Amino acid sequence: MIEEWKDILGYEGLYKVSNLGNIKSLKFGKEKLLKLNASSNDYLITRLCKNNKPKTFKVHQLMAITFLNHTPCKLDLVVNHINFNKQDNRLDNLEIVTNRVNSNRKHLKSTSKYTGVSWHKNEKKWQVMFRIDNKLKHFGYFENEIDAKNVYQKEINKINSTRC
């Protein structure tokens, strides 16, 4: 893959990001590849400086803003690493998804292929539960996974219809 470089929004002429997840400085007329560090939650970060004011950025956020025209919007739309490797910031490994899709936890070992559905060992049934307004809500136990998925979807649709 050919490396393509673009100016970082707000730092034009000072820094560029590449489609491979690299960052370079253009300061003092010299191009210098920046060292990327891992944050406490394992994302790659870098520090950019403008007008003597340093600011730390997650590399995948810079990539999404620059190449995917992403506007950070807190929890509505987020950047997802498709292969679940938080340090793989190649453009073809990033996508913009809703927070609900991102929190699907499909990258974790899961008992169900459906969001919001899990196997409850003690009950020996499928259960539906999820957080809403920071409260964990339980919607019951079900004999089969499909019934649980349908209840989950029905509850999500109810919530969405009251919030629009």
CATH number at 23 reads 3.90.75.20
Shared domain check, 75 and 145 = no
pLDDT tens-digit series, residues 60-101 = 999 999 999 888 876 677 888 888 889 999 999 898 877 766
Range of the domain at 19: 5-100
Q: What is the number of structural domains in the chain?
A: 2
Indicate whether this model's pTM tops 0.75: no
* DSSP letter assigned to residue 91: G
Provide the CATH number for the domain around residue 126. 1.20.5
Helices (H), the chain: 59-67, 99-102, 145-163
Same domain, 120 and 83: no
Edge-to-edge order in the sheet of strand 44-50? 37-38, 44-50, 53-58
Do 128 and 68 have their domain in common? no
